[in-house]
Amino acid sequence: MFINPDKCVACGNCTYVCPMGAIYIDPQIRRATVNRDECVECYACYNGLSQEHLNPTVVRTMRRLFQMMRLRFDPEPDVCPTAAFEPDELVWPRVVRRAFSDPRVPHESTGVEGRGTEEVKTNDVSGRVQVGEVGFTIEFGRPGVGVWFREIQTACHMLARAGVSFEKKNPITSLMTDVSTGTLRDDIMNEKLMSAIVEIKVPVARTEEIVRLVWEIEKHVDTVVALGVGTRCDETGDETVVASILENLGYKLHRAKTNVGLGRITNVVEQAKPETAGAGR
| Chosen residue from 74, 76, 84, 115 binding ligand SF4 by CB under 6 A | 84
Closest to ligand SF4 by CB, 8 or 221 = 8
| Chosen residue from 2, 26, 33, 43 binding ligand SF4 by CB under 6 A | 43
Closest to ligand SF4 by CB, 56 or 280 = 56
Q: Is 196 in the site for ligand SF4 (CB under 6 A)?
A: no
Closest to ligand SF4 by CB, 1 or 134 = 1
Closest to ligand SF4 by CB, 97 or 206 = 97
Q: How far is the CB of 175 from ligand SF4 (least distance, A)?
A: 20
Q: Is 44 in the site for ligand SF4 (CB under 6 A)?
A: yes
Closest to ligand SF4 by CB, 13 or 137 = 13
What separation in angstroms does the CA of 216 have from each of 150, 192, 213, 227, 231?
16, 22, 5, 13, 22
Q: Is 18 in the site for ligand SF4 (CB under 6 A)?
A: yes
* Binding-residue pattern over the window 63 to 82 for ligand SF4, x denoting contact by CB under 6 A: -----------------xxx
